[in-house]
Amino acid sequence: MRNFSACIVIGVLGVLIFAGSACQWPVLEAHVASHPNPPAAHVRWEDADADGIPDRAELRSFGDRENFRRWFTAIAERQFDGASDAWKIEQRDCAGLVRFAWREALRRHDRLWFRRMGALYETTAGDVRAYNLADSPLGEKLFRTGPGVFKESDLSGETFSEFADARTLKDYNAEFVSRDRRRAQSGDLIFFHQPWAQKYPYHVMIFLGESSDDGERGADWVVYHTGTSTGDAGTIKKLRLADLDRHPEARWRPVVNNRNFLGFYRLRILQ
């Protein structure tokens, strides 16, 4: 009888131990499911504003947008004083100036960068903090080349490119702001359309606002490359909108009654 009672006690203890162990399994599974660092394959790409640019490639903070604008305009303006050797000769045209200044504005501006760019450059602002070109969500392929909302499959196709002409910049990488210059911000793009020019009907300029050069008054400065043609490599020009208003060819005047003037556009990464 005593042996029988001992067996019962041992059996009950065994059931309790087994039950206690079983209660730990769901806890362990829940801990694994809530791991704070999911695999990279689960990172989500979104385009909340449906502008074709992934949210991860847009500059979401005020500080990043301002720093980008200051670098973007300063780099473009310095090309007027002397084109950097870092800007490849075959890339020098109106859209090429935008691409070059955009790309360089997103780099880390360290000692090596200043050495590569040349002697005309100085620290203009802090670096963009969201990302830099070395770890850009899009790599060197910064420019969207076709319509549509962003899809993750765009990353492996030809939707994004290292190259974009003036029309591509306007249609897929910038948003119309206004034809009224009072609504323009530093770093906006200005577009013109000359439909009879079959090869290069679109032209783009960069709106600087105030010049960084001491003694140059006014807040309506622009910089642009005149474009290339057979036997003419073109040149960089910097002048005020007030000067363009008096351009001898009316088609180049940035005024509302000029149908060749398309207006001011803002980069989508700044929207």
Amino acid at 97: L
Quick one: 32 and 145 in the same domain?
no
Q: What does the pLDDT look like over 147-188, one tens digit per residue?
A: 999 999 999 989 999 999 999 999 999 999 999 999 999 999
Question: How many folded domains does the chain comprise?
Answer: 2
85 C-beta neighbours (distance < 10 Å), count? 10
Whether residues 22 and 67 share a domain: the answer is no
Is the pLDDT assigned to residue 43 strictly greater than 60?
no
Rounded distance between C-alpha atoms, residue 241 and residue 207, angstroms: 9
Residue 55 CB neighbours (<10 A):
15
Minimum mean pLDDT among 63-77, 99-113, 187-201, 257-271: which range? 187-201
Residue 34 has pLDDT above 50, yes or no: no
Are 60 and 13 part of one and the same domain?
no
pLDDT for residue 91: 95
Domain with 7, as residue range(s), is 2-37
Residues 208 and 152 in one domain: yes
Whether the per-residue pLDDT at 212 is higher than 60: the answer is yes
In a domain, 187, yes or no: yes
> Are 28 and 109 in the same domain?
no
pTM for the whole thing?
0.83
Is residue 47 a part of any domain in this protein? no
Q: Are residues 192 and 100 in the same domain?
A: yes
33: helix, strand or coil: helix
Same domain, yes or no: 16 and 79: no
Q: Could you give the angle at the alpha carbon of 229 between the alpha carbons of 226 and 233, nearest 5°?
A: 65
**Four-residue CA torsion sign, 84, 90, 95, 96:** negative
